[in-house]
Structure 1
Amino acid sequence: MSDNRRYKQYSPDHGAGDREVGQHMEEEVHTPTTRDPDEPKSLFCAANMKVAQVNALIGTLNGYSIGFVGVYTTVYGYASNCIVYKSKNACETIPFAKCAWTSDATGDYCGWASQTCAKLHSTLEACAADSACKWSYSSAACQNPSGLTSTNSGIFAGAMIVGCFFGSFVGGPLSRLIGPKLVFLLVGIAGVICSVMYHISVALDLFWVLCVFRLVIGVFLGVCCVAAPMYVAENAHPKYAKMIGVMFQVFTTFGIFLAATMGLAMGQSIKYDAPSSQNLIGRLQGLCVLSTLLSLLVMAMGIYLPGSLRQKRAQPTEPVGEDEQERELSTDEKTYSCVQMIGPLLMGFIVAGTLQLTGINAIMNYAPTIMQSLGLAPLVGNFVVMVWNFVTTIFSIPLASVFTMRQLFLACSLITSVMCLLMCGIPVFPGITHKTAAKNGVAITGLLIFIGAFEMGVGPCFYVLAQDLFPKNFRPTGASATNVMQFAFNVIINVCYPIATEALSGGASGNQDKGQAIAFIFFGCIGLVCFVFQCLFLKPWDETHKVTASAPEVERHSEPDYARKEEKMATQADIHAAVAKNRD
């Protein structure tokens, strides 16, 4: 009787009962087996921001450390160039050169205690013959060497990158071993220690101390350049993972922009004709303060960073089929050897070549020098470049929601390569044009287009592709190997660029436009070669194996399940019998 009452609620008659029972059963068959109640409502909701803070803080610290090089080198040059100061007190308080306030027939001037080249030689030939002097084509005058030599500039710029090279070896495995929270905590502590040593090296003018601790912080930043994007890839919701992933590059450029802003404030405010000391050591100390603050914030993040969101989402809120669980488990647990991953690894190396061998870090580290050679004040030109660098990176966030990482990377890498070759390289070569304004205008336009394309696609997409090129269980190894290569290429560019451009120009007294043009032609050719290989072989792992992964699913659903059909038919027969008995 209870059975009759139970079925009676579905229908008063046989036909309606069949229809409603059928509808009820159809609802059961088509009800989704899983739901995701944790899906964030928007990109900027609290859940996404908890994950994005990793890319924000690590990216900013990384960017500031990159931008620090060009700004520090330029301000250090101001603090060792006697001839630009026009008052006795300012002249005699220059910290990094032995300057002397001198009088001659032309008047009073600030010169070097040993000799002042500008007063001794007025022609290129005479200046070049004196090993203690160098000729400046931009000012058409003989000058005393000031600031860092080209070799020391390369060592200074390359120190952090060498550290990053070694740190990226262990970034993925270390993050798996001790967890991302502890990794970020250690990075913050190391950053604070290194920043303190920066202050000491500035106060005592200890160049090698500065380089050693740039090397140390580089090791920890190399770990983070793998660990931070990996943390985001594993914990960001799939719907927003790409947009949050590109934020690493966005905040890296923000950090570079901060360094450029500090440089503009510290360097452009120097009053060369003021009667008082310009406190140049204090200005350099100010550049180091922000590095200390950012390191403290990273250290704090390592303490309060929430636990893994991936583990929470991995637990389904409703039961799923056993076949589905087994299939997902077997996919996640499948392991690959390095031999099996040769193809993706080689493509990772080519992608790393596109990132670094097209010259972006030559521009970032030597922007003041490059822009000065193109007719702008060094720190003003540097600021313009870095503002544009940051603004264009912001556009990568909406672009990542419209285009795939592959499409964005390929399109932008082609643009950067063409700009290097046709606008920053060939037009700058001496003899191509005799109109300086036209040459500088074309080169600056090419640089801005190059930076825009790089920051909209190449830079942001790299850190996502470094994860997506590999299956999940190979990502720690694959991402580390890819970052090792990009830092290896980065070391080559940072160390060799100033040395090579000077050598290709014919020495310190040669026309530096020649070496710069040859360097950018080289960057453009390398970029075009990489572009061809990427068009043919660049495929993220999930896209490459989508068909393979979906085949068992199609086969499973297309294959007749006779047992399930028989069970369904038997249930329908019982229902019909019960309804008929109740009606009788």
Structure 2
Amino acid sequence: MGILKDLRTSSRGAILVAIAAAAVGIIYGYDSSNIGGALDFISADFGITSEAEKGLLTSYVIFGEIFGAIVGGAFANRYGRKLMMVFVAATFTLFSLFSGLAWDVPSLAIARVLLGVAIGISIVVVPMYVAESAPTKIRGALLVMYQVATVFGIILGYLLAWGLAPSGNWRVMLGAAAVPGLVITLMLLRSPDTPRWYMMQGRRDDAVRVLGQIDPQADPSRELAVVEAELAEGRGRPSVLQGLGEMLRRPYLRAAFFVVMLGFFVQITGINAIVYYSPQIIKAMGFDSGDHMAIFGLPALVQVIGLIAVFVSMSLVDRMGRRPVLLTGIGIMVAAGAIMVVTFMFGAAGQDPTDVRLDGGFVALGFLGLVLFNVGFTFGFGALVWVYAGETFPSHLRGLGSSTMLTSDLVANFIVGVAFLPLLKSTGGAGVFAILGGLAIVAFLFVLKFAPETKGRPLDDISVYWKNGGKWPADVTGLIGVNDAERAGTGDAGGRA
């Protein structure tokens, strides 16, 4: 596989970037699935009976994620990408323990909101860290690596829920997340910050040192001259209001619209309904709640197959391109939605939608639909959201742009988290998956119209696309600075930010 060859020939510094990104992704994924495994046991302990209350309990973490995503970019600019990732891992450890020790619904809600703040910061900072550190030839793959780790964390959460299901010990399911959190905190302490952040702080010597570690073949003088020119153009670190003002006018208005809508489509198409509520979906297909192997083992298997799709995406994103990978993934999600509609419409015909008993053939078809839905997401949206979050804006707007994109993502996530179970109960599987499939079609058309192809483009040159009205010019030299033009003319493959 080409990406493995590229990684093997990359420097130790570039590999550390990949490890740092992957480490934080594990805790994000673990938290996404462990609440799904614990939900029924928590509900039984605390007397939660309505589907709306269960959806709200699952979604408390998203309140915190939205706040974390809003402030994450500004904090990363002020305190550094590395320090914020260490903060994320350490606070994740603390609040995971708090979740496991919760004594009632309000205390659990507080713990999960605080946990969400840490996660929200992480999903902004990690793409920035990777985009600003990785060599161009593997930048897309390393950004996808975060999704690989996220899916791996989801699988761990389901497997632990499966193992603990006979005892119903939801406290260990939630509190055990502190273990990877602590390990990852210690790992991150050894990682450097990004060359671009050092330059934003006026620490040129540190930038030169880290740049040499990441890419020994790079010319530090030329690379950092490009960074200096871009920082000067962007007036260093604008305030949040100044940054928003710049994003909401030309040339970056189109970019702002793109990231807000892409972030929204990533979640409104329903992937976290699958992650959070796979056990409930499996039960809706007719499995008994006491069949722990089916209720927790099948969701884990769905994610394992999805993990394979992420590796395929990672191998193609820097070769096949961003747009083809993304459109292929969304197309698979549309097909999966159609399969789920057929499964519940015909397999549950004449049955009470709240008490479905599918026969074996339709159960297999429904499982195939879940697998394809997850494969399509992890191959497309799941991989590419991190790529576009890290690539779309120039350095002085990258933090704020990532925050904006991922805040939109989390708002949609909250809508899905709260609405999915009541919709599943009221409309049955056919109705809810028809809605998700329709949204996936709209998302496909949006990406077809607005998503740029950034494969092989140095990071510092991507703003050219937005400055040229959403098109790549035949000659970029008229729209970039002297140092960029020199680099474009020499075919340099640098472009770290």
TM-score normalised by L of structure 1: 0.67
2:82 is aligned, of 181, 198, 201, to: 181
1:203-245 Cα offsets, whole Å, 9 max, x none, are x4x1221121111110111011010110011011222111111
CA change 1:327–1:296 in 2 (3 A) is: closer
1:416, 1:449 within 8 Å by CA — same for their partners in 2?
Answer: yes
1:350 correspondence with 2:261: yes
1:338 correspondence with 2:237: no
Structure 1 residue 518 displacement after superposition: 1.2
2:424 aligned partner:
501
1:393 aligned partner:
310
1:526-560 Cα offsets, whole Å, 9 max, x none, are 1111211221121154572653763349999xxxx
2:277 aligned partner:
366
1:551 correspondence with 2:477: yes
1:69, 1:156 within 8 Å by CA — same for their partners in 2?
Answer: no
* SS of equivalent to 1:384: helix
- The CA distance in 2 between the partners of 1:516 and 1:448, in whole Å, is 15
CA change 1:443–1:238 in 2 (3 A) is: same
1:380-529 → structure 2 map (5 Å cutoff): 380-420=297-337, 422-429=338-345, 433=349, 436-502=359-425, 505=426, 514-529=427-442
Count of matched residue pairs? 426
CA change 1:289–1:43 in 2 (3 A) is: farther
1:303-318 → structure 2 map (5 Å cutoff): 303-309=189-195, 311-312=207-208
* SS of equivalent to 1:395: helix
* SS of equivalent to 2:135: coil
In angstroms, what is the RMSD of aligned CA positions?
3.1
CA change 1:370–1:334 in 2 (3 A) is: same
Structure 1 residue 195 displacement after superposition: 2.0
CA change 1:521–1:188 in 2 (3 A) is: same
Structure 1 residue 288 displacement after superposition: 3.0
Structure 1 residue 411 displacement after superposition: 1.7
- The CA distance in 2 between the partners of 1:470 and 1:553, in whole Å, is 15
1:169, 1:481 within 8 Å by CA — same for their partners in 2?
Answer: yes
Greater per-residue helix proportion: 2
Structure 1 residue 56 displacement after superposition: 1.4
Structure 1 residue 246 displacement after superposition: 0.4
Could you tell me which runs of 5 or more consecutive residues in structure 2 were left unpaired when the two chains were aligned.
Answer: 1-5, 197-206, 235-245, 288-293, 351-357, 455-461, 483-497
1:288-337 Cα offsets, whole Å, 9 max, x none, are 3431112212332443222435522768976978xx99777544533344
- The CA distance in 1 between the partners of 2:262 and 2:481, in whole Å, is 36
CA change 1:433–1:442 in 2 (3 A) is: farther
One-letter amino acid of the structure 1 residue matched with residue 406 of structure 2: N
2:273, 2:416 within 8 Å by CA — same for their partners in 1?
Answer: yes
1:66 correspondence with 2:27: no
1:171 is aligned, of 44, 57, 72, to: 72
CA change 1:383–1:550 in 2 (3 A) is: closer
2:122 aligned partner:
224
1:260, 1:386 within 8 Å by CA — same for their partners in 2?
Answer: no
Higher relative contact order (CA 8 A, sep 6+): 2
- The CA distance in 2 between the partners of 1:486 and 1:554, in whole Å, is 31
1:28 aligned partner:
none
* SS of equivalent to 2:376: helix
2:17 is aligned, of 51, 55, 80, to: 51
1:80-125 Cα offsets, whole Å, 9 max, x none, are 4xxxxxxxxxxxxxxx38xxxxxxxxxxxxxxxxxxxxxxxxxxxx
1:187, 1:298 within 8 Å by CA — same for their partners in 2?
Answer: no
- The CA distance in 2 between the partners of 1:288 and 1:200, in whole Å, is 9
One-letter amino acid of the structure 1 residue matched with residue 172 of structure 2: G
1:247 correspondence with 2:141: no
- The CA distance in 2 between the partners of 1:500 and 1:73, in whole Å, is 18
- The CA distance in 1 between the partners of 2:219 and 2:163, in whole Å, is 58
Could you tell me which runs of 5 or more consecutive residues in structure 1 were left unpaired when the two chains were aligned.
Answer: 1-39, 81-95, 98-145, 271-277, 506-513, 557-584
Structure 1 residue 261 displacement after superposition: 0.8
1:450-484 Cα offsets, whole Å, 9 max, x none, are 11121112101111112222233221111110000
Structure 1 residue 177 displacement after superposition: 0.3
TM-score normalised by L of structure 2: 0.78
One-letter amino acid of the structure 1 residue matched with residue 315 of structure 2: P
CA change 1:331–1:319 in 2 (3 A) is: closer
1:214 correspondence with 2:112: yes
1:198, 1:288 within 8 Å by CA — same for their partners in 2?
Answer: yes
One-letter amino acid of the structure 1 residue matched with residue 92 of structure 2: G
One-letter amino acid of the structure 1 residue matched with residue 430 of structure 2: A
- The CA distance in 1 between the partners of 2:14 and 2:34, in whole Å, is 30
1:191 correspondence with 2:86: no
1:151 correspondence with 2:73: no
1:166, 1:219 within 8 Å by CA — same for their partners in 2?
Answer: yes
CA change 1:370–1:219 in 2 (3 A) is: same
Question: Quick check: 409-418 or 330-339, which moved more?
Answer: 330-339
1:285 correspondence with 2:171: yes
1:71, 1:260 within 8 Å by CA — same for their partners in 2?
Answer: yes
2:273, 2:420 within 8 Å by CA — same for their partners in 1?
Answer: yes
Aligned-residue sequence identity (percent) comes to 22
CA change 1:257–1:431 in 2 (3 A) is: closer
1:429-455 Cα offsets, whole Å, 9 max, x none, are 368857733433322212211111211
* SS of equivalent to 1:304: coil
CA change 1:449–1:74 in 2 (3 A) is: same
1:17 aligned partner:
none
- The CA distance in 2 between the partners of 1:441 and 1:524, in whole Å, is 19
- The CA distance in 2 between the partners of 1:328 and 1:451, in whole Å, is 38
1:252-284 Cα offsets, whole Å, 9 max, x none, are 1100000011011111xx2xxxxxxx5x4xx32
1:104 aligned partner:
none
- The CA distance in 1 between the partners of 2:29 and 2:48, in whole Å, is 23
Structure 1 residue 362 displacement after superposition: 0.4
